[in-house]
Structure 1
């Protein structure tokens, strides 16, 4: 058994913990980041229409939402370490199957299964960090996790490009499978948590049940949780609307890539400062300003028509997103109870994933009816409302944060 997370650790214990927590995330995100841009390409190469290729690419997000709540049950029964290892191994199996079968149905199944395993992987690592890292370092731990994920998704496409320069598209799937296997191996080095929640019972001698846990803590979910849904909506909108608006204004594809890379640079550079601010001054001072900054950036986007103007807005959106890295996981960890923590965080992640799916859907619907400029203003306005919602419910002081935490 490992020592209590609030007790001091030695340097070697910290290094082992940090390596075993963050290395699997980095490896897995590099692997899947390498194939994300290639899924639609591989689907069309196997005979899919453009519409079907887009659907297959979206299967991962659909599967993640479907499996968010079951992932809490899996993590509670197997434990965090075993859940992560199992998710990585299953991921590796289906990715290798894509290479050998080289068929459209297998590709679709593999993308769907990856969404399922991603739900388990994400839930288990968040639950583990919540319990393993002291509260005074929690935001930095979560923001670093978000930053590592971003770094992996930045390096993954570069690696995929290098693989394609010497091989076929399906070779990238083998690389991703290898990355998942390495992630599973490194995860085996995770220290055991100080408590085994599989043996936790309530006053009536019952084990935690997902819907009972969510019902008991519905106030947190319907207040701060809904605010996080709005935050994720803004984040996902930014990824869609910047390339579309740049293309609408005649910006070349190569310059669009550079604009997106500029926005992503802030994501990578600002994740740790954001976590430090949250730990020192409070969650409110990152969640609310970042939400408002990104929302106002979207409202301002229709007034930009040059590369320079769009670059400024892309930078502002990257700034807001980067400094808020890990905020959704941090707030979820703060609100999570000891009894039924995996089940509660599963519901929290379902809200976040719902918000992530809503952004592109809103942009698509409003654009079809009124145009892209109106869509940017609508989403930005909704984000401002969400910022006000977060300002009302997110704890501002250490005393409010202590009261926010469930018993």
Structure 2
């Protein structure tokens, strides 16, 4: 066991920069453009409603591309998919920066969302297979954490570029960041799967439909919990500024509260991953949703900046300890054969929740009040905690993991695949 632990630590250190570096840079690129998408739309002549719709194209592009992204990753491998996603995102950001009209700009935003789906799925699949299972939660929590750090830092880099080049400067920062992400990802080592046999012909990968049928119990149980988790997480980004405005707080105070909540969010991802690895997933998943749910229920009771700050910090802490939780659960339940396709379905469920949460908040606010909408979102958090507590222990996770391919192994495999007519990036 000690040898296995040592080997696991060595593997995790070996891939740290090429695995986590692209996520930091990709997050930086997305963070640079997020604050200016609506402003750019307005500058190109869009109405307020149309600008809001264009902002949603990021999520729509990701939602519709999760399953195609899984097929791309399964066919060509994780590293090529990450590089393709970075290239695609770069061209889309340049398209947005040079867009002559709102239609070209909208296409660019949609493609950025689609590229994000490919990138996120491929990086999750890669770490799931590369890192030993005893370090899986730490690796995926770190993956989610560094992405958040990048998104947090992106607006500052974008603001500096905007001062020099106008709104288009944010897209040039984004393009440069994703190009750098692709360049770092180029150094990722390929993977060799211990369950594969060189002498035997590889089994055909399962279809998305067959995985839906064979894993329907997981999707209808833990998958439902993940959908609720994503709904609560997506809604939290809107409730803090909306309630701050309801309390009559100025923009500077609102930004400070939101920023402090985000800072707490970024500080606790690695300890949470350690707890998940050592004690089990429920020790983090359930408290994360309980804290967020209770904080959202308490938010309408806040009466000023001080009480709103306390509630927002609790939301940030709850969300922070859940960093990588959805990815870890998806990795645990994904089969070794067909992993990418499974994760595509898993991320689709997550994106449905991310789209549905804010829509529910908006609908309840329109027909009732903002406080009722926020409280209902908090109830979703409690429901997510209950679903995860009940279902996670009742589905045994897959314990398979891939190993990294060394230089000599890479050369041998490349020669074998060339003689057999298969591309060098194919792993199965």
When residues 204 and 213 of structure 1 are mapped into structure 2, their CA distance, relative to the original with a 3 A threshold, is farther
Q: Deviation of residue 10 (structure 1)?
A: 8.1
Q: Distance in 2 between matches of 1:302 and 1:78?
A: 49
3-state DSSP of counterpart to 1:394: helix
Partner residue of 2:186?
188
> Contact (CA 8 Å) 2:226, 2:326: kept in 1 or not?
yes
Say whether 1:8 aligns with 2:1. no
Q: Which residue of 393, 397, 400 maps to 1:404?
A: 397
Q: Deviation of residue 88 (structure 1)?
A: 0.6
When residues 375 and 269 of structure 1 are mapped into structure 2, their CA distance, relative to the original with a 3 A threshold, is same
For normalisation by structure 2, the TM-score amounts to 0.88
When residues 185 and 203 of structure 1 are mapped into structure 2, their CA distance, relative to the original with a 3 A threshold, is closer
Task: After superposition, give the CA deviation of every residue in 1:1-45 in whole Å (9 maximum; x if it has no partner).
Answer: xxxx9881685x644411001111111110121011011111111
Partner residue of 1:214?
212
Q: Which residue of 223, 234, 240 maps to 1:225?
A: 223
Q: Deviation of residue 242 (structure 1)?
A: 1.1
Q: Distance in 1 between matches of 2:289 and 2:113?
A: 27
Q: Distance in 2 between matches of 1:152 and 1:346?
A: 23
Partner residue of 2:405?
none
Q: Distance in 1 between matches of 2:9 and 2:335?
A: 28
**Runs (5+) with no aligned partner, structure 1:** none
3-state DSSP of counterpart to 1:58: helix
When residues 384 and 37 of structure 1 are mapped into structure 2, their CA distance, relative to the original with a 3 A threshold, is same
Partner residue of 2:348?
350
Q: Distance in 2 between matches of 1:158 and 1:264?
A: 14
Q: Distance in 2 between matches of 1:208 and 1:168?
A: 48
Q: Deviation of residue 206 (structure 1)?
A: 3.6
Partner residue of 1:297?
295
Q: Deviation of residue 198 (structure 1)?
A: 11
Q: Distance in 1 between matches of 2:182 and 2:98?
A: 22
Say whether 1:340 aligns with 2:333. no
> Contact (CA 8 Å) 2:8, 2:131: kept in 1 or not?
no
RMSD of equivalent CA atoms:
2.3
Instruction: Give the alignment of 1:301-320 within 5 angstroms.
Output: 301-320=299-318
Q: Which residue of 138, 141, 150 maps to 1:140?
A: 138
Say whether 1:62 aligns with 2:60. yes
Partner residue of 1:328?
326
Q: Deviation of residue 213 (structure 1)?
A: 1.4
Q: Distance in 1 between matches of 2:320 and 2:339?
A: 27
Q: Which residue of 262, 265, 273 maps to 2:263?
A: 265
Instruction: Give the alignment of 1:142-221 within 5 angstroms.
Output: 142-195=140-193, 206-221=204-219
Q: Deviation of residue 406 (structure 1)?
A: 7.8
Instruction: Give the alignment of 1:378-393 within 5 angstroms.
Output: 378-393=376-391
**Runs (5+) with no aligned partner, structure 2:** 401-428
Q: Deviation of residue 315 (structure 1)?
A: 0.5
Q: Distance in 2 between matches of 1:198 and 1:40?
A: 48
Q: Alignment length, in residue pairs?
A: 397
Q: Deviation of residue 205 (structure 1)?
A: 5.2
Q: Distance in 1 between matches of 2:368 and 2:98?
A: 46
For normalisation by structure 1, the TM-score amounts to 0.93
> Contact (CA 8 Å) 1:16, 1:190: kept in 2 or not?
no
When residues 205 and 153 of structure 1 are mapped into structure 2, their CA distance, relative to the original with a 3 A threshold, is closer
Q: Deviation of residue 207 (structure 1)?
A: 2.7
> Contact (CA 8 Å) 1:72, 1:210: kept in 2 or not?
no
> Contact (CA 8 Å) 1:197, 1:339: kept in 2 or not?
no
